[in-house]
Amino acid sequence: MRRERHSGCRSRLRSRSAVTVSKGRDDAARADAQATGGKPDEEAVVIESFLAELAAFRDAASGVLGGVAEGSGLEQARIEFLGARSGRLKAIQKLLSGLAAGDRPAGGRHFNEAKAAVTALFAAAQERLAAGGATGVDGAADVIDVTLPGEPVRLGHVHPITQTIRRVQEIMARLGFESVDGPEVEDQWHNFEALAIPAEHPARDPLDNFYLAVARGADPLLLRSQTSTVQIRVMENRRPPLRIVSLGRVYRPDTADATHYPMFHQVEGLLIEPGTTMAHLKSVLRQLASSFLGGDVHVRFRPSFFPFTEPSVEFDMEWGGRWIEMGGAGMVDPAVLAAVGYDPDEVSGFAFGLGVERIAARRYGVADIRDFYRNDVRFLRQF
């Protein structure tokens, strides 16, 4: 009833932003406006219409709020009249700017009065309900309407790089490789020396590493530039046979671009067992690639060089009809075995290393690895 009265008033309004309660009434308003020669799309609002709109609003609100008998009804009334997004008061507020400049101060005053009045009516209704409903559990049930649909909670999830790390750990565990960790701040022995990278080797250049400032004369520490450090740490403390995999951060002063970042992650694998050959290496890499990317992924070796493996290879995986460079590998160099106290005549094994970002980018079709670190939830939510 009250609503109808209200809509009668608003049909006199000539404004694009007229209060919209339902489509039917909107059509009526348009028809009415056309009958009186006005265009429904006009921006201008005459002060009389504006005040009538306000009066209707107060009228309707006082009727509803005066008669409301339960918490859910009160909340509905609040949304209808005072709702910040699409409440009727909000809609009327939008009309203010359509008033002639001279009418605006008066319009604003009336608007504020109506707002204060209806807010007060709302508070009074709230108090009335609280007083009446405070006697029992029923009262509380009234205030929170348990039949309304709940608001879904937005759950976070594990970062795609961490997902990739866990997946690789899982696959390698099935092949018998135990997951181990190593420190990110390393000494020269573990990052270079024990890996047969001598002092004069270009890989130790200060421009290619993040050395940490230390007291003069001390052996400078650095942020590890590769996870091969963990090979050394494990072999120093254990005897063969060994099957380990280590996934973690490494640091190199590279300029960030689509395929580089000064911090990234590597997978390091090490297997030390009697009779190990390159064929075992290839088969492990192929199993890892096939399980991670899905399907039957082929692996190929290209001759290469690393100080700590002999022979050394770089390996590619065939995926999506193309050969894609994945990482480096080889048989552990006898010099490395000797450095950790193994007898190179007795033990042998293979090692491999590959970039986590690279395989994650392949798997998920990410063109720019910087996206992994921008922390834009719109990107991260996809994984």
Q: Which residues bind ligand PHE (CB under 6 A)?
A: 226, 228, 306, 309, 327-330, 351-353
Q: Which is nearer to ligand PHE, 248 or 328 (CB)?
A: 328
Query: Smallest gap, in angstroms, from Cβ of residue 239 to ligand PHE?
Result: 21
Query: Smallest gap, in angstroms, from Cβ of residue 376 to ligand PHE?
Result: 28
What is the Cα–Cα distance from 328 to 307, expressed in whole angstroms? Answer: 12
Q: In the complex, which residue's CB is closest to ligand PHE? A: 353
Query: Smallest gap, in angstroms, from Cβ of residue 166 to ligand PHE?
Result: 21
What is the Cα–Cα distance from 373 to 161, expressed in whole angstroms? Answer: 10
Query: Smallest gap, in angstroms, from Cβ of residue 154 to ligand PHE?
Result: 38
For the chain, helix, strand, coil in percent to 5 are 50, 20, 35
Q: State the DSSP string of 344-377.
A: TTT--EEEEEEEHHHHHHHHHT-S-GGGGGS--H
Q: Which is nearer to ligand PHE, 64 or 326 (CB)?
A: 326
Q: Which is nearer to ligand PHE, 7 or 226 (CB)?
A: 226
Query: Smallest gap, in angstroms, from Cβ of residue 250 to ligand PHE?
Result: 7
Q: Which is nearer to ligand PHE, 64 or 351 (CB)?
A: 351
Q: Which is nearer to ligand PHE, 57 or 315 (CB)?
A: 315
Q: Could you tell me which residues come within 8 angstroms of residue 120 by beta carbon, excluding any fewer than 6 positions away?
A: none
> Which residue spans within the chain are E strands per DSSP?
178-179, 185-186, 210-211, 222-223, 242-251, 263-272, 298-306, 309-319, 322-332, 349-355
Q: Which is nearer to ligand PHE, 299 or 329 (CB)?
A: 329
Of the candidates 120, 142, 124, 121, the one whose C-alpha atom is nearest the C-alpha of residue 133 is 142
Per-residue CA distances from 218 to 74, 196, 202, 215, 222 (Å): 73, 21, 21, 6, 12
Query: Smallest gap, in angstroms, from Cβ of residue 378 to ligand PHE?
Result: 32
